Amino acid sequence: MSGGGPRPSRDRLTELFVALARVPSPSRNERAVADMVIASLSALGLSVHEDHTAAAIAGDAGNLWCTVPGEGARPHLALGAHLDTVAPTDDIEPILEEGIFRNARRTILGADDKAAVAAAIHATELLLESGRSFPTYELFFTVSEETGLVGAKHMGDVLTSPLAAVFDSCGPVGGITAKAPSQQGLSASFKGRAAHAGVEPERGRSAIEAAARAIAAMPLGRLDEETSANIGVIHGGVASNIVPEYCEIKGECRSHDDEKLAHTAAAMVDALQEGAAQAGVDVDISLVHEYQAFALTGRSPVIRLSKAAISALGIEPRMQTAGGGSDANIFNARGLPTVNLDAGMMQVHSADEYLSLDDLERLCALMIQLVDLAPDYAPQGLGRGSGGD
């Protein structure tokens, strides 16, 4: 592995990742993992702060952040990861075989995003224990990222760095996500009239029929190179011999173009209203703007920093466009230029999720490179909002 700085310990990274991954932390239930992070960083003499997001979202842990003091009074860069995972359906038993971490059970591994959490902790251990100088930087760990970036939305303006990087993208280390879409969340509740399905079905008004008509009329799937739409949840009815009185559906649409997003959302709402009218039922519709798109050009200091740090490891940087959101969407919208970098995790949100130890080592080394090089790319004066294109 090329690049300067202290070399990551594969044994320590394995120890950290396995310990973090085996502890379940579905969204709003991150307390145990948050306590592990606090303990690890506190043992290094760092003061870790936790906000009040838990109370705001009915969770058990808040967002964490700390400053890692080095050269310079103010940090040049913030490194971030999220503490939650999608909900596992079984126990998590991480195993390392032939250099690959997998779960011995048929559910997620949790490398999304515990690979980044482990790498950030070890990178900080190495920098603080190396005895060499390094620039001051910040760490932050959010909660409930998997449920619509909820933790980041509730995180106050606590970071003072002019640039940030989150590590929440799938793929081998070296990928740089500079562009991600906006998302609208959609939910609808259909209210019809129950009746016996065999004795007097004509008295009934089927809420499921209304939902089915609406979904059938919607533009769904990959609509163009920038836009997609999906209905992911449908729930209704109580028995096969009852005309269903109630049905709820949930979905979303995403686009890199806000005009296309608005058009797609409007078409989905129109389909919901038309489906309800055809079936003679009522419908309540909720449309929520979940997060805003971002696009960083090659001129952005945080993109140039990412390319330089990746190249220093002997890896060719890969520029890419995301189909989903991350905490980077929230921080970019607030004026903190934030890139999302590949963390080595593969086939996430599935029982086939895996992570190579080589990529975990590279991820840790990349974080060290980013910290070391940040002063060369951070905007003069370290003013928030001056680090854009």
So which residues are the catalytic ones?
84, 145
Residue 73, CA distances (Å) to 123, 134, 203, 286 in order: 20, 12, 73, 46
Q: What does the chain come to in residues?
A: 389
Q: What is the dihedral of CA 357, 362, 363, 369, to 10 degrees?
A: 160
What pairs with residue 101 in β-bridges?
A: 96, 355
Residue 366: how many other CB atoms lie within 10 Å: 31
Question: What are 342's strand-pairing partners?
Answer: 169
Peptide bond connecting 90 to the previous residue in cis, omega within 30 degrees of 0:
no
Per the CB < 8 A criterion, the answer to whether 219 and 264 are in contact is: yes
Residue 196's CB is within 10 A of a number of other CB atoms, namely 12
* Residue 43 vs residues 5, 46, 73: alpha-carbon distances, Å: 22, 7, 22
Helices (H) and strands (E) in the chain, counts: 10, 20
Instruction: Say which residues have a Cβ less than 8 Å from residue 164's Cβ, sequence separation at least 6.
Output: 77, 78, 79, 80, 302, 328, 331, 336, 337, 338, 339
* Dihedral, 126, 130, 135, 137 alpha carbons, nearest 10: 30
Tally of CB atoms within 10 A around 375: 16
Q: DSSP for 118-147, please give it.
A: HHHHHHHHHHHHS-S--B-EEEEEES-GGG
